[in-house]
Amino acid sequence: MGLLACGSVIRIEPISTSTPIPTVATQPTASTKSLSAGGVPMRIVAEAISLDVPVVEMGWKLEGSGSEAISVWNVPDNEAGWHLNSATPGQGSNVVISGHNNSLGGHVFGELEALAVGDQITIQTAAGTDYRYQISETQIVRAFGASPETLNYLQSIMEPSPTEQLTVITCWPSWSNTHRFVIIAHPL
């Protein structure tokens, strides 16, 4: 699968994978997901850029049918979106949060590209726990017209990881949606 669009939605289209496309019927919810760790993310805070915004659950819907079916992420306009199929903080895997940074949607992550390696991000959960992460990697990745390898990479950063990490994704630059700005952070 590959990440193909941003704006009001992020589209994931099959490239060449044996992984089945999720359907609405199998989409996890916070109530059905194992929440053995600190609970659902409720806020994302990055003091270095004065970011302090709510996080809401973000799912997807299936559009089309058969080989033409695509999963479409429902990215919220004015909040950050926690991917329902990702881990919750403290579960020891990949916590994925997306948000808009362009004229096609909200500007929740409008200053995100000012964050740098070494800066910290805090995720506050519904259970009242703060999880602090330190940025270990930032990168800008072309999404439109990208090679299949690049599209596979963009999909892979949203998949479970063997250790705890925070992945934050937004469109880039702010006047377009041709690229993704990606942050990878690890627990402190």
Residue 12 pLDDT more than 90? no
Q: Which stretches does DSSP call E strand in 99-178?
A: 120-125, 130-142, 165-172
Q: Quote the number of domains for the chain.
A: 1
In tens, the pLDDT along 103-156 reads 666 788 989 999 999 999 999 999 999 999 999 999 999 988 889 999 889 989
Residue 104 lies in a domain: yes
CATH number at residue 122: 2.40.260.10
Domain extent at residue 115: 38-57+77-187
The residue-averaged pLDDT of 9-33 equals 42
- Average predicted confidence (pLDDT) for the chain: 81
The residue-averaged pLDDT of 15-29 equals 41
Q: Do 185 and 8 contact (CB within 8 A), yes or no?
A: no
> What pLDDT is attached to residue 105?
64
Residue 20 lies in a domain: no
Q: What is the model's pTM?
A: 0.79
Residue 135 lies in a domain: yes
